[in-house]
């Protein structure tokens, strides 16, 4: 406590009914949360088990819990520290019956959800024409995060067919005893809001609710916090509105902006002293984010050294950008594990990978094929799921012919029809089919062997640990031979990931968890929970993936209009302020040096895009504060470029006049159209257009891939 700064101490000692701690990047927020928990226990006499602390990743929750337990005397009574979803999972285990859900429910992950939606869409030609699986998933998530159903939600459905899709999807989950990720929050909220006895029980059990990374909460998570707090308990949230970068997955910036309005007795504390970055890095980061209007406001400062001046390199091409950065890393002899290359989109990694391979620079790309999405892992988990829930048709379909059991497509289709007629789960009807002489003898023999195999492994699983059960099923199913044959053809090492999975199982066996509990919690894991920094390797990752990390040397690349800020033709409503926050997050990952770069020409999805413009963010941080290197047309390399005159850029009013009523435009996706009117101002200025197809759309001028064909004269 003695080493905390005055602002941190004030936040730690906060005991008001509602506390909002605005904690900037690198200001020690995790330590403040830990110290606040310790202070509640030691100074205020709060029983540890009455404290609930939630965050977003298992990794950060584990670190927080470890630091807390190292400081408290009680070993039997502990605070509940975990993620929102792990809390929802434990809550549902206890109260599932209140929503007619079986206790042995299976939690399906993102890939399983997409698999179910594909099957639903393929079975209905009209739905297949209306939705892609990913679009369906996004809309379903939108309603669940809003704690509503399409028929009674303020959010209008995308079309009249969505109601049918929703009902089929929900019936599928219900019939197979499954829940998806969004259910882990929305269902507990429904139970708490509809059952006062359970709500009062929670209020009595948890007197202090703590939330980390509050800016990342969605509507459902905010409702959960409200339901748990009640009118008498305390809520202590820590967040940074300037680091809200996940709206595309449901995060709602208004949760933190409106917190003082929703809880009128809120006290706000600000943590602004940064312990990570140099003065020069913070100077630019502050200048950038100050252009946002939707913020409560703070300004980072540091007692660290001024540090090196920020560099910006404007390359001829993206290949030259990568070559320059590779050369700069080698020239400065940076320890490779302390270097990060950040980019806005995954496809930007290619030129860096090529440049590093050419120079023999070890590197790792964060965000390749996810460990938990690998075929071999999904196969094994499907076997385990079927052991715990014979009604899990999705797991059954995945493994019925893995390894191959001489069951052809015709036989599998017959099983589906048979199960539908009997109105039974697929695995259950196998016990009928093995005695049904309408099926060929060969098919019945294979089915009997599969049923006996599952029954045998299930029996063994009741006596063996989870790790030993996995080893047993791998041997009995001949899965090792099957996967090694596949790996040999692909030239991949799949055995290594299976061994890693067995290790995870053995670690959970030591915690004395049941197979069902392991499967439910396993579905919550993500690669970020097991991801470790690589020694002697440069890290290549997106700006989103870099959140929560820090490096001594950061190269922030691709600073070009249309790339960063990212202009997506499929998302004309993209929020420029969120793009700016993302750039701010990327900048504040750097401890010692920050190097910015971009390219005048870039290979983009197989097409060379020339004459690119520098990102508006570069002008917002004021390039006069930056050492600028690079090229301009017909100018030799390594000479300072001439910056475009900001006076040449259209003013807000000029831009609005460009899109007056009757102006003809062409949109990259929607084609030709005519402007009906404009609305809003600044970065939020929108234009309403009627396209030749009859479609009317409201588009964000700064983001839409649209050009003026003919201006309407005065």
In whole angstroms, give the CA distance from residue 702 to residue 574. 9
Q: Residue 591 belongs to what H/E stretch?
A: strand 590-599
> How many residues make up the chain in this entry?
714
Q: Which of 243, 273, 348, 542 is catalytic?
A: 243
Residue 192 sits at the vertex; the CA angle it makes with 83 and 39, to the nearest 5 degrees, is 50
Q: Under a CB-based contact definition with an 8 Å cutoff, are residues 307 and 593 in contact?
A: yes
Tokens for 271, please give them: 């943590």
Annotated active-site residue in 16, 30, 550, 568: 30
Asked whether 39 and 13 are in contact (CB, 8 A), the reply is yes
* Residues in contact with 614: Cβ distance below 8 Å, sequence separation at least 6, in sequence order: 314, 559, 560, 561, 598, 644
* Annotation marks residue 663 as catalytic: no
Q: Which residues pair with 363 in a beta bridge?
A: 538
Please give the radius of gyration of the chain, using alpha carbons only, rounded to the nearest integer.
Answer: 28
Full DSSP string of 645-665: PGGGSPPHHHHHHHT-TT-EE
Give me the catalytic one of 29, 234, 580, 616.
29
Given a contact cutoff of 8 angstroms between Cβ atoms, the answer to whether 385 and 519 are in contact is yes
Q: Is 666 marked active-site?
A: no
What is the rounded distance in angstroms from the CA atom of residue 18 to the CA atom of residue 232?
Answer: 10
Please, are residues 699 and 679 in contact by the beta-carbon 8 Å criterion? no
How far from 435 is each of 390, 441, 640, CA to CA, in Å? 19, 10, 82
- Token readout for 203 is 């209020």
Q: What tokens were used for 111? A: 């890939």
Question: What is d(CA 76, CA 347) in angstroms, rounded to the nearest whole number?
Answer: 50
Pairwise CA distance, residues 545 & 349, whole Å: 13
| Catalytic member of 7, 180, 183, 213 | 213
C-beta separation of 696 from 689 below 8 A: yes
The active-site residue, picked from 112, 182, 208, 212, is 212
Q: What is the DSSP string of 289-337?
A: HTT-SS------B-SS---SPPEEEEESSHHHHHHHHHHHHHHHT--GG
Q: Is 394 a catalytic residue?
A: no
Cα 704 to Cα 571: distance, rounded to the nearest angstrom: 8
Q: Which two three-digit tokens encode residue 447?
A: 């089915």
Among residues 65, 589, 591, 686, the one annotated as catalytic is 589
CA 497 – CA 377 distance, rounded (Å): 8
The residue to which tokens 């270097």 are assigned: 339
**Does residue 243 have an active-site annotation?**
yes
The alpha carbon of residue 397 and the mean position of all alpha carbons in its chain are separated, in whole angstroms, by 28
Q: Distance between CA 143 and CA 137 in Å, rounded?
A: 10
User: Beta-strand (E) ranges in 24-65?
Assistant: 51-55
Q: Is 30 a catalytic residue?
A: yes
CB proximity list for 54: less than 8 A, separation 6 or greater: 61, 81, 82, 83, 84, 87, 209, 210, 211, 212
Residue 639's SS3 state is coil
Residue 684, SS3 per DSSP: helix
Residue 467, phi then psi, degrees to nearest 5: -60, -45
CA atoms lying within 13 Å on the CB side of residue 431? 9
CA within 13 Å, CB half, 496: 4
Q: Does 212 participate in catalysis according to the annotation?
A: yes
CA-to-CA distance for 648 and 461, rounded, in angstroms?
A: 72
CB 113 within 8 A of CB 183: no
Q: What is the dihedral of CA 85, 90, 93, 95, to 10 degrees?
A: -90
Rounded to whole angstroms, the Cα distance separating 238 from 11 reads 10
Cite the active site residues: 29-30, 212-213, 243, 589
């Amino acid at each position: 406590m003695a080493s905390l700064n005055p602002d941190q101490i004030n936040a730690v000692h906060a005991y008001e009914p509602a506390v909002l701690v605005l904690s900037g990047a690198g200001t020690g927020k995790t330590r403040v949360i830990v110290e606040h928990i310790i202070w509640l226990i030691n100074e205020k006499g709060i029983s540890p088990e009455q404290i609930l602390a939630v965050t977003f990743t298992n990794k950060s929750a584990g670190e927080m819990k470890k630091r807390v337990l190292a400081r408290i005397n009680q070993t039997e009574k502990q605070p509940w520290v975990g993620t929102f979803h792990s809390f929802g999972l434990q809550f549902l285990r206890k109260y599932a019956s209140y929503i007619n859900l079986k206790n042995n429910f299976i939690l399906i992950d993102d890939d399983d959800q997409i698999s179910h939606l594909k099957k639903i869409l393929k079975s209905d030609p009209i739905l297949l024409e209306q939705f892609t699986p990913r679009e369906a998933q996004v809309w379903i998530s939108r309603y669940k995060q809003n704690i509503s159903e399409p028929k009674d939600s303020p959010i209008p459905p995308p079309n009249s067919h969505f109601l049918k899709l929703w009902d089929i999807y929900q019936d599928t989950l219900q019939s197979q005893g499954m829940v998806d990720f969004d259910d882990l929050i929305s269902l507990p909220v429904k139970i708490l809001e509809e059952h006062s006895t359970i709500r009062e029980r929670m209020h009595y059990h948890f007197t202090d609710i703590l939330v980390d990374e509050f800016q990342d909460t969605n509507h459902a998570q905010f409702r959960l916090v409200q339901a748990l707090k009640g009118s008498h308990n305390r809520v202590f949230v820590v967040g940074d509105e300037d680091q809200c970068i996940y709206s595309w997955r449901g995060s709602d910036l208004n949760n933190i902006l409106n917190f003082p309005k929703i809880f009128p007795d809120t006290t706000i504390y600000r943590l602004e002293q940064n312990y990570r970055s140099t003065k020069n890095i913070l100077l630019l980061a502050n200048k950038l984010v100050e252009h946002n209007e939707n913020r409560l406001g703070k300004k980072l400062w540091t007692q660290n050294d001024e540090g090196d001046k920020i560099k910006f390199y404007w390359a001829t091409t993206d290949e030259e950008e990568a070559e320059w950065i590779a050369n700069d890393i080698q020239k400065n002899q940076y320890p490779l594990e302390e270097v990060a290359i950040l980019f806005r989109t995954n496809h930007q990694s290619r030129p860096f990978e090529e440049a590093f391979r050419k120079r023999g620079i070890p590197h790792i790309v964060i965000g390749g094929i996810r460990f938990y999405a690998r075929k071999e892992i999904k196969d094994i988990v499907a076997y385990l799921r079927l052991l715990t829930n014979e009604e899990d048709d999705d797991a059954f379909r995945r493994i019925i012919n893995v390894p191959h059991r001489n069951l052809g497509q015709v036989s599998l289709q017959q099983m589906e029809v048979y199960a539908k007629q009997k109105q039974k789960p697929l695995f259950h009807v196998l016990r009928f089919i093995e005695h049904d002489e309408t099926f060929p003898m060969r098919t019945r023999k294979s089915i009997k062997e599969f049923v006996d195999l599952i029954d045998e492994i299930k029996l063994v699983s009741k006596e063996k640990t989870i790790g030993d059960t996995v080893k047993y099923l791998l041997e009995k199913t001949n899965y090792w031979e099957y996967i090694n044959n596949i790996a040999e053809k692909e030239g991949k090492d799949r055995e290594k990931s299976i061994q890693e999975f067995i290790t995870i199982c053995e670690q959970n066996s030591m915690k004395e968890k049941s197979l069902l509990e392991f499967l439910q919690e396993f579905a919550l894991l993500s690669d970020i929970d097991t991801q470790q920094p690589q020694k002697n390797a440069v890290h290549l990752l997106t700006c989103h993936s870099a959140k929560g990390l820090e490096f001594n040397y950061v190269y922030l690349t691709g600073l070009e209009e249309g790339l960063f800020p990212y202009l997506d033709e499929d998302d004309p409503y993209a929020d420029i302020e969120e793009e700016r926050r993302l750039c701010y997050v990327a900048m504040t990952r750097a401890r010692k040096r920050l190097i910015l770069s971009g390219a005048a020409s870039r290979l983009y999805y197989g097409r060379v895009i020339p004459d690119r413009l520098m990102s508006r963010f570069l002008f917002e941080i004021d390039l006069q504060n930056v050492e600028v290197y690079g090229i301009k047309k017909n100018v030799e390399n390594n000479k300072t470029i001439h910056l475009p005159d900001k006076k040449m850029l259209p003013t807000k009013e000029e831009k609005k006049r460009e899109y007056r009523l009757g102006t003809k435009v062409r949109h990259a996706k929607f084609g030709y159209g005519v402007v009906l009117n404009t609305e809003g101002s600044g970065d939020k200025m929108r234009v309403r257009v009627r396209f030749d197809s009859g479609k009317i759309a409201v588009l964000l001028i700064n983001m839409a891939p649209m050009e003026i064909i003919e201006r309407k004269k005065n």
